[in-house]
């Protein structure tokens, strides 16, 4: 056998993959979409500006000119969520004009994709430090605004007619997995509300917020400092009385699904040695990530193959994961994930501070909310080495990122 020629200096094969770390994440409080929501008269790009400025305010050790990229996701890239929002928000936030930026769209996993995309650039050596996040103002820009699906999707029967309506895809999951009953989803939803309420009272949720000055023609100036969607005290009995808008006598309600929301998130990612050089905190270390496709009409099952693939890449098993942050687009979607991996509905490792059923789910922003909460949980749990952030994605996908706790003490998984 002829030995391969040595790699040329500077070639891709000669480069070592660099460690990528999540430094810190923040978010605006999430609001209810619509004319009465806290952000009804606030621009989407201004929400992103607040997030970027807050990240820089919290980390004066990071010179703004050291930021190499700004990637911001939005599902409906139109109006104040358009115009390459990563670049325009960076300029509006006061970053040097030398800092580039771009926009990302992978529906609900937009912010997650912004993170994994810039992380790949950091690992490869294209960047040392980047800001990634997402925004969705569903009050100004309802999901699907301005879209024009190719008629071939239906004419050629490429997807089921229900695939473009997320609530109907969740009903389809109930059909596919009849053991995932409405009673189970309502119980999970009530637990999400209770866990979130307990976390707020304990001060677990809130420190990551950036308060936002708001203006209303009717009410004047205000200050958004807390999430608007949560309903503390929600009971299973309350949830059982709600209507099922996607199907007569269905199972999906406004109570066991995330709402329509407005909000923005952002985080700092860095190459690990660069972070240490600047004195930036290391919240967690990226281990592996994966995106996978599934049948669009049951998009909620997407986290299952995405997680299996990410675990394989990382050389880990589900038993190695000590904390899970699973986006709660619909309770049935989370239960499908838990059932597949043999995890109990009320496992304390899963969404221990509640989830999107309580906080809300401003589509493209939610991935970084999951990451920020996991990072804060890692800081309290040196006994946990690995955690997962995962979510389903419209049009039939799932995304999963595996993270390592830098504070792990080696005493358990």
- The residues carrying an active-site annotation are 108, 361, 392
Q: Residue 88 to residues 70, 100, 128, 137, 314: CA-CA distances in angstroms?
A: 10, 9, 21, 16, 36
State how far the Cα of 343 lies from the Cα of 353, in Å rounded to an integer. Answer: 17
Kindly state the helix (H) or strand (E) to which residue 269 belongs, with its residue range. Answer: strand 261-271
Written as six digits, the tokens of 382 are 């040196």
- Strand 129-137 versus strand 69-73 pairing type: parallel
In this structure, what DSSP letter does residue 74 have?
A: -
The Cα–Cα gap between 388 and 372 comes to 12
Please tell me what DSSP assigns to residue 51: H
The candidate with the shortest Cα–Cα distance to 360, out of 30, 38, 73, is 30
Q: DSSP state, 350? A: B
DSSP string, 276-300: HHHT----EEEEEEEEEE--GGGGG
Say which residues have a Cβ less than 8 Å from residue 54's Cβ, sequence separation at least 6.
26, 210, 266
């Amino acid at each position: 056998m002829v030995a391969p020629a040595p790699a040329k200096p500077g070639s891709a094969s000669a480069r070592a993959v660099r460690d990528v770390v999540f430094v810190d994440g923040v978010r605006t409080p999430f609001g209810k979409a619509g004319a009465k929501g806290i952000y009804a008269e606030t621009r989407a790009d201004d929400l992103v500006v607040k997030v970027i400025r807050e990240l820089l305010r919290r980390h004066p050790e990071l010179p703004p000119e050291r930021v190499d990229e700004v990637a911001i996701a939005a599902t409906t890239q139109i109006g104040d969520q358009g115009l390459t929002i990563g670049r325009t928000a960076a300029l509006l936030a006061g970053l040097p004009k030398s800092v580039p930026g771009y926009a990302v769209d992978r529906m609900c996993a937009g912010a997650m994709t912004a993170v994994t995309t810039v992380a790949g650039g950091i690992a490869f050596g294209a960047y040392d430090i980047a800001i990634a996040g997402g925004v969705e103002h569903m009050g100004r820009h309802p999901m699907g605004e301005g879209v024009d699906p190719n008629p071939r999707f239906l004419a050629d029967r490429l997807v089921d007619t229900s695939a473009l309506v997320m609530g109907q895809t969740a009903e389809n999951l109930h059909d596919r997995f009849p053991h995932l009953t409405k009673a189970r989803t309502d119980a999970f939803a009530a637990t999400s509300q209770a866990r979130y309420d307990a976390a707020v009272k304990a001060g677990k949720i809130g420190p990551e917020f950036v308060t936002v000055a708001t203006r209303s023609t009717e009410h004047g100036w205000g200050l958004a400092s807390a999430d608007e969607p949560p309903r503390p005290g929600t009971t299973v009995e309350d949830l059982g009385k709600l209507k099922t808008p996607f199907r007569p006598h269905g199972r999906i309600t406004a109570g066991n699904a995330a709402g329509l929301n407005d909000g923005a998130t952002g985080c700092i990612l860095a190459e690990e040695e660069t972070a240490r050089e600047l004195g930036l905190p290391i919240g967690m270390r990226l281990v592996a990530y994966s995106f996978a496709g599934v049948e669009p009409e049951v998009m909620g099952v997407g986290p299952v193959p995405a997680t299996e693939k990410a675990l394989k890449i990382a050389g880990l098993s589900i038993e190695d994961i000590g904390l899970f942050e699973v986006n709660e687009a619909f309770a049935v979607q989370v239960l499908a994930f838990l059932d597949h991996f043999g995890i109990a509905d009320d496992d304390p490792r899963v969404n221990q501070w509640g989830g999107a059923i309580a906080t809300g789910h401003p589509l493209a922003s939610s991935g970084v909310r999951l990451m920020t909460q996991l990072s804060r949980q890692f800081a309290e749990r040196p006994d946990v080495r690995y955690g997962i952030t995962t979510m389903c994605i419209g049009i039939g996908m799932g995304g999963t990122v595996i993270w390592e706790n830098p504070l792990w003490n080696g005493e358990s998984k």
